[in-house]
């Protein structure tokens, strides 16, 4: 850890870099912090699903969030650690039990799914990936990922088969990398890019800007704005990835989709919601059966 920090501290941007090693330094690491990004945890290996890493990563996230609650309860918290569909609910649970839960300040980073969506459309259709935006809703694993290709801007003309293939590829983009890395891990570089992109948005928002983004959030962050996505299939789920507008205090509002998803997409949202329900419940179950010692 000192090595990474020393390396990075030589870069000639103006931020100062400090390092903290080990559990005993965790609260020092968090003192005075505005934004916490959590990527800690083990990576998937071929054959593993995101749920296989669940126990290890669940306990890591729980411990870190407890420290955040104790040291910087007003920080914006962005989670990368998988399985996101469960770790974000775990984080919410910890914050609630510490009486510092604010649904507007908690985010699961799903940016990589949007990035993959734009890039994979370019792979098959040659369009400018940097200009293309595809809304992605639902969760952050396999069939809980729902890219809304019919609402891409600029519009992309796709046959049903093309759409199905693209959806499949976007949903299992992570597996593609795990397989290619052949035991050496999962996506790191593209995930770092995605994480940095989302964190930049948080930084700008904390700095006073209003920023459009997407993330896996507690729908309680904007109960009113959540109506649309509930009606479309999120139903009574507590968490769902949606387009949001960020400001100084975190999620300002959920941004409505400006069209109805097509039949294929509505079906995909249904399937996603069913799996998500289990993933979220698994997170809650973990917390209920691992009562903290406080």
Q: State which residue, 67 or 203, has the beta carbon closest to another protein.
A: 203
Cβ(30)–Cβ(36) below 8 Å: yes
Our measurement of the distance from residue 38's CA atom to the centroid of its chain's CA atoms, rounded to an integer in Å, reads 10
> Minimum CB separation from another protein for residue 187, in Å?
5
Element (H, E) at 78: strand 76-79
Which residue, 182 or 288, has its beta carbon nearer to another protein? 182
State in angstroms the smallest separation of the CB of 16 from another protein. Answer: 9
31 in Cβ contact with 72 (< 8 Å): yes
Catalytic option among 10, 125, 140, 227 = 140
Interface residue list for another protein (CB under 8 A): 2-14, 112, 114-116, 118-120, 122, 128-130, 132, 173, 176-177, 179-182, 184-185, 187-190, 192-193
Nearest Cα neighbor of 81 from 46, 37, 119 is 37
| Between 39 and 59, CB nearer to another protein | 39
> Is the Cβ of residue 189 or residue 293 nearer to another protein in the bound state?
189
What's the half-sphere exposure (Cβ side, CA atoms, 13 Å) at 150? 15
Nearer to another protein, 203 or 284 (CB): 203
Q: What is the nearest approach in angstroms of another protein to the Cβ of residue 172? A: 12
Judge residue 183's burial from the number of C-beta atoms within 10 Å of its C-beta, 0-12 exposed, 13-18 middle, 19 or more buried: exposed
* Nearest Cα residue to 54 out of 138, 141, 115: 141
Q: DSSP assignment, residue 153?
A: B
What is the rounded CA–CA span in Å between residue 140 and residue 215?
Answer: 10
Helix and strand numbers, DSSP H then E, in the chain: 10, 8
Per the annotation, the verdict on 140 as an active-site residue is yes
User: What is the set of active-site residues?
Assistant: 140
């Amino acid at each position: 850890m000192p090595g990474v920090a020393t390396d990075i501290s030589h870069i000639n941007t103006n931020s100062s870099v400090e390092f903290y090693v080990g559990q005993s330094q965790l609260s020092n690491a968090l003192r005075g912090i505005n934004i916490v990004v959590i990527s800690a945890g083990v990576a998937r290996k071929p054959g593993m699903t995101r749920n296989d890493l669940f126990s290890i990563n669940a306990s890591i996230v729980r411990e870190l969030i407890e420290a955040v609650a104790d040291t910087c309860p007003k920080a914006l918290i962005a989670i990368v650690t998988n399985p996101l569909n469960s770790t974000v609910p775990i984080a919410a649970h910890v914050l609630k039990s510490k009486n510092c839960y604010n649904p507007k300040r908690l985010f699961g980073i799903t940016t990589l799914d949007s990035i993959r969506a734009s890039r994979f459309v370019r792979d098959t259709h040659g369009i400018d990936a940097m200009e293309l935006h595809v809304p992605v809703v639902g969760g952050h694993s396999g069939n809980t990922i729902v890219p809304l290709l019919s609402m891409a801007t600029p519009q992309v003309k796709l046959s049903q088969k093309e759409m199905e293939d693209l959806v499949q590829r976007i949903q299992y983009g992570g597996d593609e990398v795990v397989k290619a890395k052949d035991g050496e891990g999962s996506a790191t570089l593209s995930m770092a890019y995605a994480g940095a992109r989302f964190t930049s948005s948080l930084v700008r928002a904390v700095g006073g800007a209003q920023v459009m983004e997407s993330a896996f959030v507690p729908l309680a962050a904007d109960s009113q704005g959540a109506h649309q996505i509930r009606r479309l299939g999120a139903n009574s789920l507590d968490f769902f990835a949606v387009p949001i507008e960020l400001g100084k205090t975190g999620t300002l509002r959920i941004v409505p989709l400006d069209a109805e998803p097509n039949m294929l997409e509505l079906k995909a949202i249904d399937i996603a919601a069913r799996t998500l329900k289990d993933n979220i419940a698994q997170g809650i179950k973990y917390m209920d059966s691992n009562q903290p010692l406080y």
